[in-house]
Amino acid sequence: MNRFPITLLTLAGLSVGVGLAQTSPITLALVQELVRTVTVNGKTSEALTPAPKSVVPGDLVRQQLTATNTSDRPINRVVLKLPVPEHATYIAVERSDVPGEVRTEFSADGGKTFGLAPLKKTVLITENGQSVHKEVTVPPSDYTTVRWTLNQLPARAQATVGFRMRVD
């Protein structure tokens, strides 16, 4: 079985938007963990291996992004984007640890457009010999980027968002 380095994503692929600020008072930290199901004394639970050196196809990886407001003032409308790495398939969003309200949206076109789940797209199909446009649901496995919009990130506060993915 081939093993791949865990260089699934570096901070270069992340982005944060805080309006028109020139320098961001927000710092980002990315954590990737290998998720394994283990059974101990008849009880099944998950074991997390932080920063695994390599993964194999089929492995489940949890990816979490923590944004920290390093300033002494709240920041309104913080946008965090986290792409699904190449050679991985999006599985599900993780429970977020975010102060206040957050809107989670998804993209299936590399982060060009976003929408709430389930995503829809229009495809051209042939029905009864006629070409017709039809709206279809995009499967989550086709999601390429996840975006979280926080109404506000309080002063000196943190917000953690993330998702799980399967290595292809």
The 10s digit of each residue's pLDDT in 69-113 is 999 999 999 999 999 999 999 999 998 899 989 999 999 999 999
For CA atoms 146, 150, 154, 159, give the dihedral sign: negative
Q: What is the pLDDT of residues 138-166, one digit of tens each?
A: 999 999 999 999 999 999 999 999 999 99
**Cα R_g (the chain), whole angstroms:** 19
Q: Which helix (H) or strand (E) holds 150?
A: strand 145-153
> CA torsion angle for 107, 113, 117, 118 (degrees, to 10)?
-90
Q: Which three-class secondary structure state does DSSP give residue 140?
A: helix
Please tell me the distance from the alpha carbon of residue 69 to that of residue 62, in angstroms, as a whole number: 23
Q: What is the pLDDT of residues 108-142, one digit of tens each?
A: 999 999 999 999 999 999 999 999 999 999 999 99
